Structures are given as C-alpha cells and as structure tokens.
Amino acid sequence: MDNPLLIPSSLPFGAPRFDLIRTEHWKPAFQAAIAEGKAEVDAIAANPAPPTFANTVEALELAGAALDRVSGLFFNLLEAESDDAMQQIAEEVSPWLTEYELYISLNETLFARVKAVWDGRAALRLDPDQRKLLEESYKGFTRSGALLSPADKKTYAALEEELDLLELKYGKNVLDATNAFSLEITDEAELEGLPQYVRDAAAQAAREKGKTGWLFDLSHPSYVPFLQFSARAELREQLWRAFNARALGGPHDNRQICLKITELRRQIAQLLGYADWAAYELEERMAKSIGAVRKLLDELMAPSLPAARREVADLLAWAQGQGYAQTQMLPWDFPYWSERYRAEHYALSDEQLKPYFRLEDCIAAVFGLATRLYGVQFVERTDLPAYHPDVRIYDVQDADGRHLALFYADFFPRSGKRSGAWMTNFRELAVRGGVEERPLVSIVTNFTKPTADVPSLLTHDELTTLLHEFGHALHGMLAEGRYPSLTGTNVARDFVELPSQLMENWAFEPAWLHTFARHWQTGEAIPDALVERLVAARNYHAAYFQVRQLRFGLLDLAWHTLQEPANDETEALERAALAGCTVLPDIPDSCISTSFHHIFDGGYSAGYYSYKWAEVLEADAFSLFQERGILDRATAASFRENVLSKGGSEDEALLYRRFRGHEPDPQALLKKLEII
Ligand SMILES: [Zn+2]
C-alpha cells in the first residue's frame, strides 16, 4: 500500500515521486497494474449494455491507466538511469506486457463489440478525434487478423512466427558478417592521413583483442573515418569491399533470407486483403499510397541525379588536379576526396564554434524562441523531485499562465544512460473522468558536462540536436485533446519528424544565432564569417547525399511492392531497382540488400522514404516562416493550432494542408538544398 508507483502523486501537476521510487517497487507495481488493466478490459468485454462508442472504444482507450503510468516511468528510466537490476526487471516484465497486449488483441468478445460500433459508425455523431479513435481501434484488431477465419488465423500466426525468426536470423547474419572482418595494421606508415583520435581508437581496439598495432573493423565509428581520412587507397578499397559485401555469400549469407522475408510479408499482406506489403504499411502513414511515395521520390530524383553527377564530376576534376590518377571517382575514393575538398573550402572545426555555444545560453535561447513563437514561458521548479541531480524541471506555462506541461531536461552523460539524444513522455496528455492530465515531457541528451573551470559548450551539431529534441518536446507540451494515443507525438511515422526537423532550421539562421551566440570568456559576438561558413557548408554535396537516400527508398519499394514471388535473385532484383540512378560506378560483388537493417529487420520496411518525406514537410513548412519572417507570430500560431496541438487526432495530410495551404511540395526541399 506504500508503493509510490501505485498511489496517485500528491505533488503539483501529479509530478512523479522520483524521490520515493525504489527498485523493489517496480515488479509489484507492474503486477498490480496489469491485473487492474485486465479487470478493466474484462469489464468492457462483459458489459451487458449494447456496445457504444463510450462504453467500448473510449473505455478501451482509457483502460490500463495504471499500467501506462508504471510503464511510462520504467521504460524511460531504463534508458536514462539504469543499472543491472533495472535490466533484469525489464527482462522479467517484457513477457508479461506481451501477454497483456495479446490478452486484448486476441479477445474475440471485445473485438465483436468494437466491430459492432464500427459497423454502425454511419449513424454515430462523432467528433473528428472520436472517428479517428474508432478507426484506429478497429484497425488495431483487423490488421492483426481479427477478421480471418479460424484456419487463416492459424496460417497468419505461423507466417508471423516464421517472419520473426527470419528477421532475427537476418540481423544475426549481418552482425556476424560485420564482426568477422578486421583490418590489422602494424606499420605506422599505413595510418597516413588518419587523425589522432582515429589512431587512438584503433590502438585501443587492438589492445582489447590482445594485439599490437592498430585494428580497424566495419563498425561505423571505425569504418566511416577510415574511408574519409586514410590516404591509402588500397586499404580504403579493402575496407569498402568488405563492408559492401557483408552477408553476401559466405557463412552468413542473407541472399535467400531477403527473398524469404519479403515473400512472407507479401503473403501476410495478401492474407489480410492488401495488394502488397507496402499497401499494408502505408495505410497507417500520412503518405497512404504507394503512388504518393513514388511521386515524391521521382520529383526529388529528377533534378537531384544530374546535380549529384555534376558534384562527383567536379570533385573528380579537382582530385585529378591534386594527383588522383583514376579516370572515374571510385566509391572508396569518394569519401576521402570529398572530405579533403571540404576541409580545404569549408573548414570549420567544432573547436572554433564551441566557445560561442555555452549550454546555458543555448537553453535560454531555445526557450526564448518558443516564447517568441508560441508565447510559452518556462519556470524552473527546484522543489519537485528528479531521478538524478543533473535533471532540471520546468513548469511550462501558456501566454495566459495556464499550465501546459512539466518539462524534464537531462543533458549530461553518465553510466546507466544510453548514448544519443531523444525526447519522451513520462505521461501522455489524457482526460479521465472529466479531469485533464497534462503531459510530463522529457528530453535526454549527452552533452559535455561542465567542469569547475569550463561551462558546458555545445558543438553546432549538438545545438541542432537540442533544437530537434525540443521540437519533439513542443509537440508534446502544446498538445491538446483527450485521447492519449492520439495526442502529442503519437502521429504517423512519416509525420512525427516534422516538428523536430522544422526547429533545426533556426540553427542556421544568422538572425537567431546573433541573439545569443557570444564567446563564453570574452563576451564577443559570434563573427559573421563563422556563421557564413556554417551556412555555406550546410549543403556541401547535398545532391549526392540526397540521391543516396532516394536509392535506398527505391530499393525498399522494389522489395515491398512484390505482388508475386520474386522472379529474380537478390542481386539481380537490387540492380534492376537501382538501374538508371547510379552516380558512382557500380562495383560487382557488392550488395546493399544483404545488410540493409532498416528494411529487413529494423521496422522501416516500406518506410525508408519517410526520411525524405519528413524533409520535404519541414522544408515546405519552414519556407512559410521564411516568407513571413522566422519569428512571425501568426505563422507560428497557425502551426501550433493546426499541427502541434492536434497530435494524431485527425488525418495528418489534412492537418498539414490546413497549415500550409497546399500538399507538401518537394520543390521546397530542392530549393533548400540548392539543387534547383
Ligand atoms: Zn526526431
């Protein structure tokens, strides 16, 4: 009875009792919350009254509140403030949670009630968010086979199980193939061109394997800088060939598995009544149709391809002037010469910029930007408990003083916190029993911690990251609505990066940078020349990188629009998909598909296009700010009203059109990247 996870917090805004939560509280809290959730679900299914929107769909949405509360705290702390005991608990409770989800999704009595409401929807008078909730609820069941005959349900379950195992096998093959290769260097002369930090890491890697000299492998932190900096073309080629032939033949061959995975997905999609896997996946996205995705990729590709080829031709000519003896730019040489050209023409080191980006100033500037745009204020609360002394808590207030959210900011690395940066919610916005629970929003980063002598200073990339995560946070904090699954950042995957990527644009706006970027020691304003270089370097080789992303998107579509078993072998299918959009020479015995995690085992199947889709959205959205002023209150108010406040409560394509007045326009991204 004294478990702080199970009694409502008496603190202001229901702030979690991080001061009272102990490791031993988690498991009993999960057990009690799951039991409570099941009892609520049982009561909905067994309700003797005829099914209605309120007693079935809405009730189901709001069921399991205790479990949401416990999970919302536990899984975020597991990322940000974890230890072995937490990991152990996670392993124990994961199967409980899977079982709870199946308890709902396989509940036929419950589905029959949801279906009855769905079937009678034409006669219901529902608000837009209620219509969306009904649709999501119904589809949540049907997309996992609720409408199938008993025999087809068995087939579906068998296909899913086989797919799960093959995805695991695919991932393991990539990992094993990646780990199987290493490049050992014992002659220091062969390190030519590599910066000291790359050499140190390679020496460390060698020591860890009990070897002398330097060890390079195919992990990104080792592979990427080697290709960029090593002056030894034959070694770059060796590494490139190994990287691009991972799981292609040999003991960890993924070629048959690529075919098998996409074949199982095709069968699952068609069993559920869709033309292909892409149609099944896209139903839940803003893009909705394969036609819309193709149109976007094609419109971007048409001008980007010749522009990328020009970039490579220009680089080749420059490299030849520097002694490059090849007649074409080979793929293992491109990163090296690209980096050399960049260093010569756009050189801008982190060390030059960092003194101007003191974390405290950046935070104040980002908060100030939110105040200028949206009128919101951030009032620090030192009286509320945090899960670590580094975490700061703010009461976020609207222009009229109304409480919008608690905002937790956790900036510095420590053991028990994973790397990277992210935004999350401890609690989603919900209205329960007529009472509004405002969200508890958090951003977590790994910026350099201040010392006694030096404050925390950000690189420009880190400032961009801060803006990015803060953009997600605004989506959470400015949320309005009543259904937790439809508010804040709970939107389609190809829409969710719009608020975050939009905010990144300010990091390149001289007018905004000049409002706060001062040298932390001298107080001198950031020199114009530095800001100009920053902006100029932004689009370096933009067309090349755009084509690279578009090719991945096209390859993903080729695999996931198969409506019959593939006729081709893996390499032939890939070559056919990418024919006509090559920029660098095609190298035999290399393959993308056999190690393409995103689409084969990483949850981005038929979704790789989302990166470009989101870029088009943010470029097109930001172009309105550029037209009307980057601090224009009316444009911001419209973005808040039509996008940020709405979450996923209505069709995202509609929300976007209301803000922008037209469909997302790829021209905006092409202009931003200076391709047209
Ligand atoms: Zn993001």
DSSP characters over 109-167: HHHHHHHHHHHTGGG----HHHHHHHHHHHHHHHTTTTTS-HHHHHHHHHHHHHHHHHH
Number of CB atoms found within 10 A of residue 152's CB: 13
pLDDT-wise least confident of 40-49, 390-399, 533-542: 533-542
Query: Both tokens of residue 30?
Result: 């999960």
pLDDT digit string, tens, across residues 565-587: 999 999 999 999 999 999 999 99
pLDDT digit string, tens, across residues 276-286: 999 999 999 99
Report how far ligand 1's centroid is from the alpha carbon of 655 (Å).
19
Res 602: pLDDT: 87
Res 43: pLDDT: 98
Closest CA to 29 of 83, 80, 77: 77
Q: How far apart are CA 105 and CA 622, in angstroms?
A: 40
Q: How far apart are CA 297 and CA 547, in angstroms?
A: 10
Residue 522, phi then psi, degrees to nearest 5: -95, -20
Amino acid identity of 497?
E
Report how far ligand 1's centroid is from the alpha carbon of 83 (Å).
26
pTM score, whole prediction: 0.94
Report how far ligand 1's centroid is from the alpha carbon of 500 (Å).
6
CA 285-289-292 angle, 5° bins: 100
Report how far ligand 1's centroid is from the alpha carbon of 312 (Å).
30
Across the range 391-408, mean pLDDT stands at 98
Query: Both tokens of residue 665?
Result: 């326009």
Q: pLDDT over 70 for what percent of the chain?
A: 100
Report how far ligand 1's centroid is from the alpha carbon of 421 (Å).
9
Q: How far apart are CA 487 and CA 497, in angstroms?
A: 15
Amino acid identity of 215?
L
Residue 2 has pLDDT above 90, yes or no: no
Query: Both tokens of residue 239?
Result: 């590494």
Number of CB atoms found within 10 A of residue 420's CB: 10
Report how far ligand 1's centroid is from the alpha carbon of 349 (Å).
25
587 DSSP 8-state letter: P
Q: How far apart are CA 297 and CA 304, in angstroms?
A: 10
Q: How far apart are CA 651 and CA 307, in angstroms?
A: 35
Report how far ligand 1's centroid is from the alpha carbon of 233 (Å).
36
Closest CA to 489 of 635, 311, 614: 614
Report how far ligand 1's centroid is from the alpha carbon of 159 (Å).
32
Q: How far apart are CA 662 and CA 609, in angstroms?
A: 20
Provide the mean pLDDT of the chain: 96
Res 1: pLDDT: 67
Say whether 499 sits in a helix, a strand or coil: helix
Report how far ligand 1's centroid is from the alpha carbon of 620 (Å).
18
| Block residue for tokens 């951030």 | 378
Residues in contact with 136: Cβ distance below 8 Å, sequence separation at least 6, in sequence order: 485, 486
Res 603: pLDDT: 86
Closest CA to 114 of 96, 138, 90: 138
Res 173: pLDDT: 97
Report how far ligand 1's centroid is from the alpha carbon of 609 (Å).
15
Across the range 111-117, mean pLDDT stands at 98
Q: Which residues form the catalytic set?
A: 469
Closest CA to 315 of 276, 355, 342: 342
pLDDT digit string, tens, across residues 163-193: 999 999 999 999 999 999 999 999 999 999 9
Amino acid identity of 669?
L
Residues in contact with 452: Cβ distance below 8 Å, sequence separation at least 6, in sequence order: none
Q: How far apart are CA 597 and CA 257, in angstroms?
A: 13
Q: 638 with 659: CB under 8 angstroms?
A: yes
